[in-house]
Chain A
């Protein structure tokens, strides 16, 4: 097993997350995947935005950049254009990535820029006090939904797939081996790769929604997740309150953004030599 301490800023531990928060486990999954693929620490740059998920870059010992709320992918796209040899990873949350940064997410997917995005979905805005997010389940309680959330949530994986992402997967903190596997595949994929990790927020979400301990929240993940390969064995009725996990979508046919950009540069510079643009 990977020695996780080699990849952590030990002077930042213990981290600031609440007891039982899934973010720490997602960080472990990411580190395990990076170690498996043999990347050097200097080859990696991790971008985060604002929120609990953004604190991941406080403890990760890579090149780390914390950006403004939701704009993470815009910064990361710019960086990737300047330094295409670097492995760019974006860690975002359900509020940061799907609400404030929703537009950046769909356009990064549309461009198919070679960035791996990990969206930690804990169904709530944890850091700001438990407001519901666009990924909070319908009927869930939050400080801004004291009588239950009336809005239906996005299926963020379907959204990103429809926008043009070329690798889409969903794991959970409970299914940690699957999550490690998905992040490994996403990091090895060329193009926009997206992994949603269903996580737990026992303090902001769980205690308002009848799951008082982190353990109960992990059991919820276990009971509500269905492997995508098994999905056709279930009826529509059975799948109503469940979510699919696993490798949801892979497309190797779309051209990666940097490849299109380099082709353009090549075409124009050849044109210049010939005296026309």
Chain B
């Protein structure tokens, strides 16, 4: 059973710089039409935490979902 991860994006702190969008190996994030970053493929997340570690605004949190 592969691990499942939750990805939370805090819209109040996110400045849509796009670092998470570019660094995510599974394209979990996307820019929406209004230029804001959104979580679109949470189920694909592999938990590498590239986004959380490099987010300059502490807006992204990734944690493993309890089975």
Q: Interface residues, chain A, CB within 8 Å of chain B?
A: 1, 4-5, 8, 13-15, 17-25, 28, 173-174, 176, 202, 213-215, 218
Given the known interface contacts A4-B58, A24-B58, A173-B54, the answer about A19 and B23 at a Cβ–Cβ threshold of 8 Å is no
Partner of A20, one of B12, B13, B56: B56
A174–B17 alpha-carbon span in the complex (Å): 15
**Nearest CB of chain A from residue B27's CB, rounded to whole Å:** 14
Tell me, in angstroms, the Cα distance from A24 to B15 when the chains sit together: 12
Is A23's CB under 8 angstroms from B56's CB?
yes
Distance of A23 Cα from B56 Cα, bound (Å): 7
B: which residues have CB within 8 A of A?
12-13, 15-19, 22-23, 49, 52-59
Do B15 and A14 have beta carbons less than 8 Å apart?
yes
Would A215 and B56 count as touching, CB distance under 8 A?
Answer: no
Q: Apart from A8-B58, A23-B56, what are 10 other A-B pairs with CB-CB below 8 Å?
A: A1-B52, A14-B59, A17-B56, A20-B17, A20-B56, A25-B54, A176-B54, A202-B17, A213-B18, A215-B23
Say yes or no: A25 contacts B56, CB within 8 Å: yes
Taking a contact as CB atoms closer than 8 A, the residue among A4, A15, A19 that contacts B16 in the complex is A19
Tell me how far the C-beta of B10 lies from the nearest C-beta in chain A, rounded to whole angstroms: 9
30 pairs of residues in contact across A and B, judged by CB atoms under 8 Å: A1-B49, A4-B58, A5-B58, A8-B58, A14-B12, A14-B15, A17-B56, A19-B16, A19-B17, A20-B15, A20-B19, A21-B56, A22-B56, A24-B55, A24-B58, A25-B56, A28-B53, A28-B58, A173-B54, A174-B54, A176-B53, A176-B54, A202-B17, A213-B17, A214-B18, A214-B56, A215-B18, A215-B23, A218-B23, A218-B54
Tell me the interface secondary structure of chain B in the complex.
Answer: loop
Shortest CB-to-CB span from B42 to chain A, Å, is 18
The DSSP consensus for interface residues of chain A is loop
Bound together, the chains give a CA A19 to CA B36 distance in angstroms of 12
Residue pair A214, B52 in contact (C-beta under 8 Å) = no
B52 closest partner in A (C-beta):
A1
- The answer to whether B55 and A218 touch across the interface, beta carbons within 8 angstroms, is no
Q: Cα distance A209–B16 when bound, in Å?
A: 21
The distance from the CB of A21 to the nearest CB of chain B, in whole angstroms, is 6
In the assembly, what is the distance between CA of A19 and CA of B37, in Å?
12
**A24 CA / B55 CA spacing, docked (Å):** 8
Q: Which 5 pairs, one residue from A and one from B, show the smallest C-beta to C-beta distance?
A: A24-B56, A20-B17, A19-B15, A19-B17, A215-B22
Give Cα distance in the complex from A5 to B56, angstroms: 13
A173 proximity list for chain B (CB < 8 A) = 54
By a CB distance below 8 angstroms, the chain A residues around B15 are 14, 18-20
Instruction: Evaluate whether A20 and B52 lie within 8 angstroms (CB atoms) in the complex, with A14-B13, A14-B57, A215-B23 already known.
Output: no
